[in-house]
Amino acid sequence: MNLLLTQLKPGEKGKVKQIDACRRAARRLYEMGFNIGTNFEVVKNDIGPIIVSLFGHKVAVGRGLAQKIIVNQPD
């Protein structure tokens, strides 16, 4: 099922399926580690930026950028 990163709750895991953003925003996300196929876990998703765990590191993503990340949830 395709979801936006902003729709996942803390503790849920996902995999980046697609980045739906302009070249500049997509490049920024790639540099942060959000490459297609990357697995992650949501640490925090309430008020403010979304914090995810990528490769054992915590990364904060603003809500505007997070809405450009399309993810799959593992079944």
Retrieve residue 8's tokens.
């996942």
CATH of the domain at 16: 2.30.30.90
pLDDT at 24: 94
Domain count, the chain: 1
pLDDT at 66: 94
Range of the domain at 6: 2-72
pLDDT at 75: 60
pLDDT tens, N- to C-terminus, the chain (75 residues): 789 999 999 999 999 999 999 999 999 999 999 999 999 999 999 999 999 999 999 999 999 999 999 999 866
pLDDT at 49: 96
- Burial bucket for residue 16 (CB in 10 Å: 0-12, 13-18, 19+): buried
pLDDT at 10: 96
